[in-house]
Amino acid sequence: MIDKLDLDPDFMDWIWPDYIFKLGLNQSLILNIQSQATWALETQISDYKLASNAKDLVDTRALKQVDPKAVNVNIVH
């Protein structure tokens, strides 16, 4: 990270402990996808006339096998 972002090593030593890395899938992803689809339709950046249901685009099965507690959306497959 230090080399790639050209950061001072002391800065990385100071800030790195604040980061929490974890895998998760929550409702914010669904809302974000839906929001972007709506924006694409409203700005006519897309030829589609209707936005797909964002829940149809997300498959939670693999993550649920790894860590069921990391999935906080209700999607039925």
Concatenated DSSP letters for 1-60? -HHHHT--HHHHHHHGGG------EEHHHHHHHHHHHHHHHHTT-SS-SSPPPGGGG---
| pLDDT on residue 77 | 56
* Strand-pair partners of 71: 25
Look up residue 56 and give its two tokens. 């149809």
| pLDDT on residue 18 | 92
pTM: 0.58
| pLDDT tens digits along 4-52 | 999 999 999 999 999 988 888 888 888 898 898 888 888 887 777 777 7
CA distance 75 to 77: 7
| pLDDT on residue 13 | 93
